Amino acid sequence: MTKSLVQERFGANAAQYATSSVHATGASLTRVVELVAPRPDWHALDIATGAGHMALAFAPHVARVTASDITPEMLTETAKLAAGKGIANLDTKLADAEALPFPDGQFDLVSSRIAPHHFPNQPRFLAEVHRVLKPGGTFALVDNVAPDTDTTPGFSADQLAAADVAYNVFEKIRDPSHGRALTSAGWRGLVAAAGFEVRHQEIMLKAMMFKAWCRNMSVPPALAADLAAMLAHAEPCLAAFLQPKEKDGDTVFMLRELVLIAVRH
């Protein structure tokens, strides 16, 4: 059900993700390439590639990159962008992140950016990443995270837990295919339990323009009004996390991307 909803929502909005600035030019793209330091003989896999921005960022640095996604329309956008940039070492593959159609130990590098919050079973996704990576291979995870003491200091555990739930509800109202954004500590625990050694992690702050955020998912006006009201009247802990501000007739709010680099045991 969630996966068919993902295909429906992203299939209908694929073109927006090709041009969305948060996805196409977000700072985590260059930061991940810098942290990973890919090698020219590597075969990389980008999971839930969307319009392929992470795969396209790796392409000039590796021998081959496979861009995979569960939504065929997204892979069409990826192939178009690759052709437009003259990138010839990228192939696309329709694939569920939780059941990858690749043999064990095929890849030197596996990445997934701003997508794992859609996966219903994140431990299964991590087990698949572990399976398809070579021993010693690199895993780069980037995802929006929920509030915790690091990102939102000064609040009690109960307030943070309530803000975590409220943030995920906010995302799910905008996009019903949103599953669950974890906290940084939540991801760290899952990644370690899946047989990886976490080598680096950092949080990158990103400013979201409310209107474009709604437009990317074709949010109807009545629902956009509900979301605007949620932002305006958020409880103090959620408000401290999202930091909504009026700007040029729009609302800007902040999200946080966890960038985590790990090595497969």
Ligand X SMILES: C[S@@+](CC[C@H](N)C(=O)[O-])C[C@H]1O[C@@H](n2cnc3c(N)ncnc32)[C@H](O)[C@@H]1O
Q: What is the contact surface with ligand X in residues (CB under 6 A)?
A: 3, 6, 10, 17, 23, 48-51, 53-54, 69-71, 74, 96-98, 113-115, 118-119
Q: CB–CB of 132/106 below 8 Å?
A: yes
> Which C-beta is closer to ligand X: that of 162 or that of 180?
180
> Which C-beta is closer to ligand X: that of 21 or that of 156?
21
CB of 208 to ligand X, least distance (A): 13
Strands (E), the chain: 43-47, 64-69, 90-94, 107-113, 133-144, 196-209, 245-247, 250-264
* Positive or negative torsion for Cα 244, 246, 249, 255: negative
CB of 108 to ligand X, least distance (A): 19
CB-closest chain residue to ligand X: 50
> Which C-beta is closer to ligand X: that of 68 or that of 251?
68
Burial degree of 21 (CB within 10 A; 0-12, 13-18, 19+): exposed
CB of 162 to ligand X, least distance (A): 26
Q: Which long-range contacts (CB under 8 A, 24 or more apart) does 120-123 make?
A: 120/2, 120/3, 120/179, 122/180, 122/182, 122/190, 123/190, 123/193, 123/194
CB of 142 to ligand X, least distance (A): 7
> Which C-beta is closer to ligand X: that of 56 or that of 262?
56
CB of 126 to ligand X, least distance (A): 13
> Which C-beta is closer to ligand X: that of 38 or that of 50?
50
